[in-house]
Amino acid sequence: MTTSTEFSPEVVRVSAHELSGTNGPKRGASGRRPPRASSSRRRRAANADATDRGILSAFDRRRPGIRWGVRLTHAVLLVLLIVVGLGPLLWLAKSAITPTVDTLRTPMALFPNGVDWTNLSTAWSTVHIDVQFMNTVWVALGSWLMQIVVATTAGYALSVLRPKYGKVIYGLVLGTLFVPSVVLLVPLYLTILNPPLLGQSLINTFWAVWLPAGASAFNVVLIKRFFDNLPREVFEAARTDGAGPFRLFWSIVLPMSKPILGVVSVFAIIAAWKDYLWPLLVLRDPNIQPLSVRLPTLQSAIQLDVYLAALAISTLIPIVLFLVFQGLFLRSAGLGGAVKG
């Protein structure tokens, strides 16, 4: 015996509504779905998930033994980095004002027989380190200026102006990065010895160091890549307002490129300050030689304490330069990745 059950439309609608309220997505009083989790909450969850995927989980980090072990490891690594990085510089600074006898007998002792400040004055005036110091300043400034001018104009032409043959030139610039610098010494020296269109040798002039320093393919590639990340809308707006190529370069591109200009400046000055081989070849006159060339020749002619004092003086500019521009240098590590937007 079979029985048939009939359902009215009202009962069917009520059952469907109850099923949607229990098994389906929940809705509010207005019938709308509640908002999803915010993007910040999702990012925090993703960061927490990424943290859990490290060597130590969040549970292990809360254990006292592991937490103190990690802190001790970080402290030991920090001390090792300080000793390896600052140890030679601190020893040089100490030896510059220490008598020669103390440096030879107890090189690691801290002023066993007092401090001798006359080493610095003797190295500066008597040995005439002041002349080589100013020569190094002129070499570094001229090399920096040439590199900035060549790199910014070349990067601007390849990245912003974009001529039809720009890709060919950029490929040739990249190709020069694969040529060892030692291979270029002989042709570059012959070019400086008899430069075209001048008819006069540039040997024993600062131009022999400045002009080759400007031909830095690395700086061109570095600045060109930074210019590629600059917003093109700003360039189009400037052109619409009537700005020409020079005005666009001077008033728009350069002010937006201060981070990369700071990085290139630090690289250029430090490289020119410590360069030895090329200035040795083209600057034969001792009166115009920089410190990197002159100091090795003075090693056998002066006392050890005075020589160490001269070395300490020669390291002042690079250290001060990095301390002044370290914030700009570290912020520019991304090379313009944060410019977009």
Q: pLDDT tens, 221-249?
A: 999 999 999 999 999 999 998 889 999 99
pLDDT of 136 reads 93
300-310: per-residue pLDDT in tens?
888 888 999 99
Q: Which of 148, 86, 114 is nearest to 315 (CA)?
A: 86
Tokens of 9: 């439309």
* Contact (Cβ atoms closer than 8 angstroms) between residue 224 and residue 159: yes
CA–CA separation, 313 and 178 (whole Å): 35
For the purposes of burial, counting CB atoms within 10 Å of the CB of 139, is it exposed (0-12), middle (13-18) or buried (19 or more)? buried
For the purposes of burial, counting CB atoms within 10 Å of the CB of 91, is it exposed (0-12), middle (13-18) or buried (19 or more)? middle
pLDDT of 16 reads 44
- Residues 334, 339, 340: CA angle, nearest 5 degrees: 115
Ranges in the chain, pLDDT < 50: 1-30, 37, 50-51, 335-341
Q: Show the domains of the chain with their CATH numbers.
A: 133-334 (1.10.3720.10)
pLDDT of 249 reads 94
